[in-house]
Amino acid sequence: MDIRYFELIIFIPAVIISLIPDMKKMSVFSMLGNITLAASIGVVLPMENEMKRPGMLEGTFGVLNVTAFVCTIIYIFFGFVAYLKYGHKAADTITLNLPSNW
């Protein structure tokens, strides 16, 4: 693929995002990006090198996508349980809601 097409693919969404006046609406996308990044840093290349069939890493139901999906479900589950427990008082980092006298 020509580099100009790649630049267009990146440039157009960047311009659209920069036109959003209230960036709080983008927090969902930021959360999804953070979850995906946290699930994959430092794992992908060593895991691919150790696989018997490295081609199974990629693909719709490849190891990487399934792992990212499971991590996302775990994050959503813990967020849901924390919201059930603490409601609107739930802190961004759930450990901040725990009592300090443990």
The pTM is what? 0.47
| Best CA proximity match to 36, nearest among 81, 68, 74 | 68
CA distance 10 to 3: 11
C-alpha pair distances (Å), 76 with each of 45, 58, 98 = 26, 24, 19
Dist CA 36 CA 63 (whole Å): 14
| Per-residue exposure over 66-85, b if at least 16 CB sit within 10 Å of its own CB, e if not | ebbeeeeeebeeeeeebeee
Residue-wise pLDDT for 28-85, tens only, equals 777 888 887 777 666 666 767 777 887 777 778 887 788 889 988 998 998 888 888 8
